[in-house]
């Protein structure tokens, strides 16, 4: 049963409950219960079930076949490394995804790349690394950012939209063999606070280093989250 006294919408509560079932019980391509079965099991309306299923489909956790039902989506490396799909909103527990907006913060060369990382990228110059920033806001206020470091050979031009960027990340995800993670709690620097228009707030940095089968670094994704403003969570999928 869901908690009708909780502030979060019922469909988001149901989304979390179904996601837990997907992670703990189901395997890839398993068929999920019908909408009516879920209505009975969780004592919710069909509208609530449909909203929850649409949310799971949007996140890539399920897929639907008309006339047959809903099924668990195959587990991909892109799901294990959820930062590569740049779907920040799906990690904000209890926050309506429609209230979170994102926009490109800039596309520049990766001059902050270390010499070791440059070697792992297999590049001779830092100018060969493209740095892209996505900024996330909740009701107009900065809550986090994703900074991507990618070989310039994967970026077709300096003019990117979300559709072309999504294709770039999808192509990179197919080559990922392993991902190394690191986490760090810190405070925003003076320049970051000025750039984002906020105070020097405490933040959590989540860095993912993606490697191909040859051990070559192909992408770095650094996510910065102002944890005092949103309840952030990560989903871990069984392989």
Q: Where among 20, 50, 72 does a domain terminate?
A: 72
Measuring CA to CA, which residue among 135, 130, 97 is closest to residue 223? 135
List, in order, residues 6 or more apart from 146 with CB less than 8 Å away: 83, 86, 88, 133, 134, 136, 221, 222, 223, 224
pLDDT at 237: 46
Q: Where among 72, 87, 122 does a domain terminate?
A: 72
pLDDT at 201: 92
Total domain count, the chain: 2
What averages of pLDDT result for each successive group of 10 residues across the chain (239 residues)?
75 87 86 95 93 83 88 62 58 80 79 77 85 89 91 72 74 77 90 91 89 80 89 60
pTM (global) more than 0.75: no
Residue 232 lies in a domain: no
How many C-beta neighbours within 10 Å does residue 82 have? Answer: 22
Residue 37 lies in a domain: yes
Pull the structure tokens for residue 67: 């006339």
């Amino acid at each position: 049963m869901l908690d009708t006294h909780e502030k979060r919408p019922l469909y988001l509560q149901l989304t979390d409950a179904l996601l837990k079932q997907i992670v703990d019980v189901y395997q890839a391509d398993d068929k999920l219960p019908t909408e009516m079965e879920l209505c009975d099991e969780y004592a919710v309306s069909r509208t609530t079930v449909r909203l929850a299923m649409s949310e799971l489909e949007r996140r890539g956790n399920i897929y639907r076949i008309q006339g047959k039902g809903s099924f668990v989506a195959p587990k991909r490396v892109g799901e294990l490394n959820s930062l590569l799909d740049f779907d920040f909103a799906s990690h904000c527990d209890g926050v309506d995804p429609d209230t979170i907006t994102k926009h490109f913060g800039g596309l520049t060369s990766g001059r902050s790349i270390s010499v070791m990382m440059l070697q792992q990228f297999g590049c001779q110059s830092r100018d060969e690394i493209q740095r892209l920033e996505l900024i996330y806001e909740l009701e107009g206020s900065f809550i986090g950012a994703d900074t991507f470091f990618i070989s310039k050979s994967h970026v077709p031009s300096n003019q990117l939209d979300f559709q072309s960027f999504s294709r770039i990340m999808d192509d990179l995800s197919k080559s990922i063999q392993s991902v190394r993670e690191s986490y760090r709690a810190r405070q925003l620097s003076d320049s970051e606070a000025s750039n984002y228009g906020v105070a020097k707030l405490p933040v959590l940095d989540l860095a993912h280093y993606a490697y191909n089968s040859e051990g070559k670094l192909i992408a770095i994704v650094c996510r910065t989250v102002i944890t005092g403003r949103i309840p952030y969570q990560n989903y871990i999928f069984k392989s």
